[in-house]
Amino acid sequence: MLDLSGWLDRASSPTLQQLTLRRPDDWHVHLRDGALLKAVAPATASQFGRAIVMPNLNPPITTPAAAQAYRQRILAALPAESRFQPLMTAYLTDASDGAAIARGFNEGVWAACKLYPANATTNSAAGVSSIEAITPVIAIMERIGMPLLIHGEVTDANIDIFDREAVFIENHLAPLLARHPGLKVVLEHITTIDAVEFVSGGPDNLAATITPHHLHINRNAMFAGGLRPDFYCLPVAKRELHRLALRAAATSGNPKFFLGTDSAPHQRSAKETACGCAGIFNAPYAIESYALVFEQEKALERLEGFASEFGARFYGLPLNSDKITLVREPQPVPKLLDFQGATGDGAGLVPFHAGETLPWRLLP
C-alpha cells in the first residue's frame, strides 16, 4: 500500500508533499553499450530495482554467452553498491533455435524473447521477417511460459506510419494469439486506443507496457514551431485521442498495463542530422515523469501498482521489498546532459522534459 504519511494536515494544505512507494521496475529499456552504457545505466539503476534490457545491440544479443557478457558489462557500469538487476532478453531472428532459447530460459539467462519485425526500428535489420516462420520457437516459448515481447508495428512501406501498430494488431497479433492461446505476450510501448482496447479485451496472458513520453506528448510535439527530433521515437507518437486512451489505461489500475520506459538514448549528433535516429532518452527523470501523469489524472494512489507491482506479477517475479520516496520539489531538467564528456564527441544526450521543471524529485 502507498504510504500516505506525507499528506499534510488537510486543513492547511490538500497537497501531497511526499510519496513513498515500493521500488519500481522498468519492463523495457535500452542501455546500449560501451561509453554510452556507462553514461546511461546509472540513471536507470538509481530509479529501478530491475529492468528488462533490450537486446538490439549491433550485433544483436542472440546467444546466452552474449547475454551473460552484456549483463556483466551493465553491472560493471554501475556503482559498486548498486543492487540493480538487469533482466536479459533474447533477440529473435529467422534463425533462432527454440531448444537453445529454452535452455537459456531454464538456466535463468533470459527473462524473455524480443520480437522485432525486420527493419521496424533501430538495429532491427536482423529481426524476424515473418512471425509465422518462427512458429516452432514460439510454440516452445508457449510451453515453457517464456514471455514474448513484441515491437508491434508492421514494416510495409505502403502502410501509413501512424497506422502501423493498429494494422500489426489486426494482421499479426490477433492471429498469433489464436495460434498460441497460452503464450505470454507483452505488447511493448503501446501508442494507440486500438492497442488499449485489444489488450484490455484480451486474455490474462496478454499485457502491455506504456512509456512516459506517450503519456505526455502527442504527434504535434514533433512539429511544434519546427522539426523537433527529440520527440521522435518508434512507435511514433499518435493523435491526442490515443494519448488520452493511454493515460486512462495506465492510471486505471488494470494490471495488464505496466511501466516500461523505452528509454532509448541516441547522441545528439545522431538525432539532429539529416536522417535522425528514433528514440527518446527518459531514464534520468522517468518515475518523476510518470508521477506527474498520475497526479494530473488524480490517480497517484494507482502509481504503485503500475510502476512496482503489475509487471513483476506478470513476469512471475517477486515484488521489490525496498522503497523509493518522491518529494514535491521543483526539479529543473537540463537542456542537455553531457555526462562529463563520457559520451565522447556525440555532443551529449537531450533528456525527455529538457528545459521543463518537474514538480517531483526522487530522493537519492
What are the residue numbers of the active site?
262
Rounded Cα distance between 311 and 256, Å, is 8
264, 286, 300, 312: residue in contact with ligand NCD (rule CB under 6 A): 264
Q: Which residue is nearest to Zn ion (CB)?
A: 262
Residue 233 binds which entry of ligand NCD, Zn ion, none, CB below 5-8 Å type-dependent: ligand NCD
Query: Please, what is the minimum distance in Å from the beta carbon of residue 264 to ligand NCD?
Result: 4
By CB under 6 A, is residue 121 in contact with ligand NCD?
Answer: yes
Tell me if 87 sits within 8 A of 54, measured CB to CB. no
Tell me the β-bridge partners of 21.
324
Integer Cα distance of 97 and 95 in angstroms: 6
237 or 324: CB nearest Zn ion: 237
Binding of residue 230 to ligand NCD (CB under 6 A): no
Q: Which of 140, 89, 143, 79 is nearest to 116 (CA)?
A: 89
Q: Within a 10 A sphere around the Cβ of 42, how many other Cβ atoms?
A: 18
The number of CA neighbours under 13 Å toward the Cβ of 236 is 19
Cell of 152: 508491434
Q: Which grid coordinates are listed for 269?
A: 549528433
Contacts (Cβ under 8 Å, ≥6 apart) of 22: 304, 308, 309, 319, 320, 321, 322, 323, 324
Q: Find the shortest distance in angstroms from Cβ 262 to ligand NCD.
A: 5
Binding segment for Zn ion among 100-108, 132-140, 260-268, 338-346 (CB under 5 A)? Answer: 260-268
Measured from the CB atom, is 30 or 38 closer to ligand NCD? Answer: 30
Q: Which is nearer to ligand NCD, 23 or 172 (by Cβ)? A: 172
Closest separation between CB of residue 80 and ligand NCD, Å?
28
Note the residues at the interface with ligand NCD (CB under 6 A).
30, 56, 121-122, 151, 233-234, 262, 264, 278-279
Q: Where on the chain is the footprint of Zn ion (CB under 5 A)?
A: 262
